[in-house]
Chain A
């Protein structure tokens, strides 16, 4: 019967091509706009590392004088000082933890083939790759020794490897960063995430770095931060050494804590650590304040999905409702004009339920067609977003979920809009239309 209803729907659509086209267009536009905003929202709010987002914790410490405020809701600075980052990194617990910082280099190959170009890079600990699920295609992360000795080694991603070496295994080869030669020791897969959750300093949706170097190089090569550096008091910082010893915040710190027990142990450790630092006279504080936020809490805390975005999604759904109201009107007209035919069907033995089902299938077909065209419109919309805001380029795409959601939402919406007309038409009294010749 379902196939038969599909067939009837198709004929009905073809019988009134103009009205059908109008209805499909209305759904398509509504769905297109809704899916455009919903796709961006979906990408923004997607968990970037679902299987361990509740085990990766961003560390925040309050190492300011009592009474000092910060721009955050809880007055905690986003980043750490060099002193604290090193102390936490050198502690025994937990096993996986890392500081990291965005920097950058002018990259060249000491040949005329590749022109030098400026490229962002991440200075970090050797645990970074394992913590954030960056898999190696070739080679591996730097060794403990290389890290301690600040060896000139570098890990690059596949994209950069493609650009510089045509994609071949380049482990062991040299590249030049700021005119110094580095040995490539590993190549990682391209990072397919939409939110740069591990470092929100330069914007949540910026591109991931393609170059990774040991954090120890920050000191030996005096690498400067390409992110934010903030102070909370006046300090006479002249040399790089001053910078390292200052109370300025410029380093991100993450720890992997696998169980609630580990989280408790680490909290206790941080509490003790902060009290110790206060007694050393670095800052004047009675109350100990710190925060461990897992990935999703961290994104929430940083308002990665802004209120504007939510409003936009809400508005586009309202627009969809308006489209649906129009469709409801058109369907009402169309279905009621068919009342005589329904009367005949009822007289020939169709139950109300069968008539109702037939009409719901018809609106579902409309919804499906509208949804498919809607995907086209959404693609156009997302293309527009990408053209206008290059910052959103990684976000303004539809993943499989959204591609499946589009027709599902369209059909759902059409069924809702079609319920009333279908109910009305299935209540047709069979006899009324049978008498007239």
Chain B
């Protein structure tokens, strides 16, 4: 589904040149659930943004469903993004003027989904994240964790084939975090491909495949097999080290 080959991303600011990604290569199959870890500033968000076509890259090749993203126009990218990709941003990035219901509605509107169907999906997703009763609230009336859950609901409502989640549990307590993880696992089972950035080792371990980004490069290592959660394998410990 996703094929990145020698992707480079250089940020050019006034004085410094930051090599956020260097020769980054990755293959993701349809239906995978990948946890991405790595130190702060290593390029995880940059990778997700490029995967989601939110940012151009400096060099390399990126195929999404065999389409060369580098050759697409801005409008075509917007279309693809709208049809295939769901985002959970590192900052929640809710729109302050809109209430929860309307925030979740945003991607559905751009996709041209009919009002009745929108309503069904939004209520369903808010229910899943436990915020159905607060649909009329504005983001600033919610706690950080609640806002995080709205952002998740917004991503789920689009029923994306490809979900990019940047620290989706960063602001949640461990119970809530596990619930969110279960939600993600649910939609993964239903067929969605998921790439999730996380600092939470325990959550990362629950994902069938782990990758680590260090200094803009993939620290390649073993592909983990699906296993019961909570079981720490030696290989896993090695990754943490």
Name A residues whose Cβ lies closer than 8 Å to a Cβ of B. Answer: 1, 4, 8, 11-12, 15, 340-341, 343-354, 429-431, 433-437
Asked if A346 and B78 make an inter-chain contact with CB atoms under 8 angstroms apart, the answer reads yes
A-B pairs with beta carbons under 8 Å apart, 27 shown: A11-B97, A343-B93, A344-B106, A345-B95, A346-B54, A346-B78, A347-B87, A348-B81, A348-B107, A348-B110, A348-B154, A349-B78, A349-B81, A349-B83, A349-B107, A349-B111, A349-B158, A351-B75, A351-B78, A354-B110, A429-B54, A429-B55, A431-B54, A435-B45, A435-B90, A437-B90, A437-B91
Asked if B79 and A348 make an inter-chain contact with CB atoms under 8 angstroms apart, the answer reads no
Asked if B93 and A340 make an inter-chain contact with CB atoms under 8 angstroms apart, the answer reads yes
**B89 contacts A by Cβ under 8 Å:** yes
Closest A residue, CB atoms, query B81: A349
Closest A residue, CB atoms, query B91: A437
**B61 contacts A by Cβ under 8 Å:** no
Top 10 A-B pairs, shortest CB-CB distance = A349-B82, A431-B55, A351-B78, A431-B54, A348-B107, A349-B110, A430-B54, A431-B49, A437-B91, A344-B93
The number of residues on chain B lying at the interface, defined by a beta carbon within 8 Å of a beta carbon of chain A, is 28
Asked if A348 and B106 make an inter-chain contact with CB atoms under 8 angstroms apart, the answer reads yes
Bound form: Cα–Cα A1–B118 in Å: 14
Q: Tell me which residues across on chain B come within 8 A of A345, comparing CB atoms.
A: 95, 106, 110
Q: How far is the CB of A366 from chain B (nearest CB, A)?
A: 17
Asked if A347 and B110 make an inter-chain contact with CB atoms under 8 angstroms apart, the answer reads no
Asked if B89 and A434 make an inter-chain contact with CB atoms under 8 angstroms apart, the answer reads yes
Bound form: Cα–Cα A15–B138 in Å: 13
Assess A434 versus B90: contact at CB under 8 Å? Given A347-B54, A348-B106. Answer: yes
Q: Tell me which residues across on chain B come within 8 A of A350, comparing CB atoms.
A: 78, 82, 110
Which of B49, B82, B94, B96 is within 8 Å of A434, CB to CB?
A: B49
Q: Tell me which residues across on chain A come within 8 A of B74, comparing CB atoms.
A: 351-352
Closest B residue, CB atoms, query A426: B74
Q: How far is the CB of B115 from chain A (nearest CB, A)?
A: 10
Which residues of chain B from 73 to 122 have any CB-CB distance to chain A below 8 Å in the complex? 74-75, 78-79, 81-83, 87, 89-91, 93-97, 106-107, 109-111
**B216 contacts A by Cβ under 8 Å:** no
Asked if B75 and A434 make an inter-chain contact with CB atoms under 8 angstroms apart, the answer reads no
Q: How far is the CB of B154 from chain A (nearest CB, A)?
A: 7
**B38 contacts A by Cβ under 8 Å:** no
Q: Tell me which residues across on chain A come within 8 A of B96, comparing CB atoms.
A: 341
Asked if B91 and A436 make an inter-chain contact with CB atoms under 8 angstroms apart, the answer reads yes
Which of B75, B97, B109 is within 8 Å of A15, CB to CB?
A: B97
Asked if B109 and A347 make an inter-chain contact with CB atoms under 8 angstroms apart, the answer reads no
Asked if A347 and B89 make an inter-chain contact with CB atoms under 8 angstroms apart, the answer reads yes
Asked if A344 and B95 make an inter-chain contact with CB atoms under 8 angstroms apart, the answer reads yes
Closest A residue, CB atoms, query B53: A430
**B168 contacts A by Cβ under 8 Å:** no
Bound form: Cα–Cα A436–B49 in Å: 13
Bound form: Cα–Cα A354–B79 in Å: 11
- In this complex, the member of A343, A347, A352 whose beta carbon has the largest number of chain B beta carbons within 10 angstroms is A347
Q: How far is the CB of B132 from chain A (nearest CB, A)?
A: 21
Which residues of chain B from 32 to 83 have any CB-CB distance to chain A below 8 Å in the complex? 45, 49, 52, 54-55, 74-75, 78-79, 81-83
Q: How far is the CB of B112 from chain A (nearest CB, A)?
A: 8
- In this complex, the member of A4, A341, A344 whose beta carbon has the largest number of chain B beta carbons within 10 angstroms is A344
